[in-house]
Chains A and B, each alone.
Chain A
Amino acid sequence: MPRVIVDVMPKPEILDPQGKAVHGALPRLGFSGISDVRQGKRFELQVENVDESTLAEIATIAETLLSNPVIEDFAVRVDA
């Protein structure tokens, strides 16, 4: 069954305390060279078939429930 992926990320200008915490842990683990970390969410939606109307509906779902457009951006893609 096809799968549609919705990625939700905090907008670039919004503070991401979780990403900062992850970033702060890296040097303690001996990893260097990572200049920033942003943490988001990934949703996997199983669908019967992928067509234009399904993707339009998923975009609406992403905008109304999966993300908060005030603080987050989303991207919809079909899982290959």
Chain B
Amino acid sequence: MSQRVGVVTFPGSLDDTDAQRAVRLAGGEPVALWHGDHDLQGVDAVILPGGFSYGDYLRCGAIASFAPIMTEVIAAAQGGLPVLGICNGFQILCESHLLPGALIRNDHRTFICRDQVLEVENASTSWTSDYEVGQRITIPLKNGEGGFVADDATLDMLEGEGRVVFRYVDVNPNGSLRGIAGITNERGNVVGLMPHPEHAVEDLCGPGTDGLGFFTSAVRQVLASA
């Protein structure tokens, strides 16, 4: 039986079908979840995809963090369910306080879209166990508000506890403090990052298949714990 990974669609989500496809290519069964429902349909993991939920009104991810299904996502995440937030999904995880910090407008004030090199710094989360610490991966980055910020005490805590999962290599594309591209919670089941692994899962399009490991990691972990 393949593992079921839910992908939440909010009004304004863009990359939900790409995330579903990445799950399928990783050997899992994608399950479409709807923002207005209070039902996770018994999935084994959840992905909050990229896009512009609720038009990015108020703040990116702010209104989505109060969507009906987030009640269940937050409770399940606190109980250990693997949850991955990509781009707008990362913003939603920060707004819902599942992850610390916040994402603000890029320091150079322009939307950025490029193939971005990341270094993996934590390979023991639910979403990165198929990578190795120090491994460099290239996946697309596309955001207008991707600058990760937090106070110094929070940044020190994240670094001290090994909770910086990815850091930007060569350039800091959006002004993120300490070059942080992605972080995890204390337990390692919730991961958020600005770049898009779901756009790097096939050789035909995108910069390669470096992103597939996110999805195989989660599918494998769920199998191991079943």
Contact = CB atoms under 8 A, between A and B. Distances in A.
Q: Is the interface of B mostly helix, strand, loop or mixed?
A: loop
Contacts of A13: 151
Given A65-B66, A70-B150, A71-B149, A17 B102 contact: no
B136 interface: no
Contacts of A70: 94, 100-102, 149-150
B139 to A, nearest CB: 24
Contacts of B107: 15, 17
A66 B101 CA distance: 17
In the complex, which range does the number of interface residues on chain B fall in? 20 to 34
B62 A65 contact: yes
A62 B217 CA distance: 39
Contacts of B89: none
B147 interface: yes
> Quick one: which of A21, A65, A70 has the most chain B CB within 10 A?
A70
Nearest to A41: B58
B106 A17 contact: yes
A15 to B, nearest CB: 6
A79 B107 CA distance: 34
Contacts of A65: 58, 62, 66
How many A residues touch the partner, as a band? Answer: 10 to 19
A14 interface: yes
Interface string A56-76: 000000000110101100000
Interface in B44-69: 58-59, 62, 66
Interface of B: 58-59, 62, 66, 94-95, 100-102, 104-109, 147, 149-151, 175
24 contacts: A10-B104, A13-B151, A14-B149, A15-B104, A15-B107, A15-B149, A15-B175, A17-B104, A17-B105, A17-B106, A17-B107, A17-B108, A18-B105, A18-B109, A21-B109, A65-B58, A65-B62, A68-B95, A70-B102, A70-B149, A70-B150, A71-B102, A71-B104, A71-B149
